[in-house]
């Protein structure tokens, strides 16, 4: 379904879901700690400081559901949130860190990839890309891994309020051209701004469609 095809009713249903209960469940540091796979899941992943925690808070209308930080690598676990008893949203560790040990990066990366490959209830992965920087080698590596694992994913551009309209359109088109070459990628790119609330209601509808 393309974003433009959502109806007023779907927007309202999604708004109610995200205005309701969304509770932090647990942080998962190993696959053995994963909760029972009883609800559909969507996961959010991206480079450190891409605005992932801020986007979580914007989606749910809360200020501190997901903690934000200027320190790369603050999210060190798979953080599970229960959205209205209808689905799990998973905040994944960022990648591309600059200030943590190689051993810790390797451990986090192993956890990320193992989760993505093996979680049966995972419906979609949202890869967050900073509008100011576009796709980086780490992002392309993740996309290729998801292609091989046949895990569906969508690309969400963050911080679109930080770039001019012309530059945003350029980054969006470049990203879309790359996505079209990846078998598991959804071809449409969604620009968002947590500060200006741009694209947030569309993303709510997209997420709710996997419940």
Res 100 pLDDT > 90: no
How does pLDDT run across 171-197, given as a tens digit for each residue? 999 999 999 999 999 999 999 999 999
Per-residue pLDDT at 67: 54
Q: Round to whole Å and give the CA distance between 201 and 194.
A: 11
Question: pLDDT tier at 71 (50, 70, 90 boundaries)?
Answer: very low
Report the number of distinct structural domains present in the chain.
1
Question: Cα separation of 141 and 159, whole Å?
Answer: 22
DSSP per residue over 14-34, as a string? HHHHHHS-EEEEEEESSGGGP
18-23 long-range CB contacts below 8 Å, 24 or more apart? 18/59, 18/60, 18/61, 18/83, 18/204, 18/208, 19/61, 20/84, 21/82, 21/83, 21/84, 21/85, 22/60, 22/62, 22/65, 22/81, 22/82, 22/83, 22/84, 22/89, 23/81, 23/82
**Residue ranges making up the domain that contains 102:** 3-208
Position of tokens 């809360």? 62
What are 2-54's pLDDT values in tens digits?
455 789 999 999 999 999 999 999 998 888 999 999 999 999 999 888 999 89
Q: What does the pLDDT average to over 54-62?
A: 91
Give, as one character, the DSSP assignment of residue 38: -
Q: pTM for the complete prediction? A: 0.90
- Is the model's pLDDT at 166 over the cut of 70? yes
Domain harbouring 130, CATH code? 3.40.50.300
d(CA 25, CA 197) in angstroms, rounded, equals: 26
| CB-based contact 93:104 (threshold 8 Å) | no
Residue 112 has a pLDDT of: 79
């Amino acid at each position: 379904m393309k974003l433009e095809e959502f109806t007023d009713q779907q927007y309202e249903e999604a708004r109610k879901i995200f205005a309701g209960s969304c509770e932090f469940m647990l942080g998962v540091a190993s696959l053995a700690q994963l909760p029972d796979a009883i609800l559909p899941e969507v996961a959010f992943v991206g480079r450190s400081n891409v605005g992932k925690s801020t986007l979580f808070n914007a989606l749910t209308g809360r200020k501190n559901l997901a903690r934000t930080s200027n320190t790369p690598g603050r999210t060190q676990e798979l953080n599970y949130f229960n959205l209205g008893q209808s689905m799990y949203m998973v905040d994944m560790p960022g990648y591309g860190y600059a200030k943590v040990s190689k051993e810790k990066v390797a451990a986090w990366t192993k956890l990320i990839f193992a989760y993505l490959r093996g979680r049966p209830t995972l419906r979609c992965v949202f890869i967050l890309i900073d509008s100011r920087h576009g796709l980086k080698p780490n992002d392309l590596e993740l996309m290729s891994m998801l292609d091989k694992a046949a895990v569906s994913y969508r690309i969400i551009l963050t911080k679109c309020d930080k770039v001019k309209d012309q530059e945003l359109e350029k980054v969006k088109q470049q990203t879309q051209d790359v996505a079209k070459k990846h078998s598991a990628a959804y071809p449409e790119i969604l620009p968002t701004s947590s500060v200006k609330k741009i694209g947030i209601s569309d993303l709510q509808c997209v997420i709710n469609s996997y419940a």
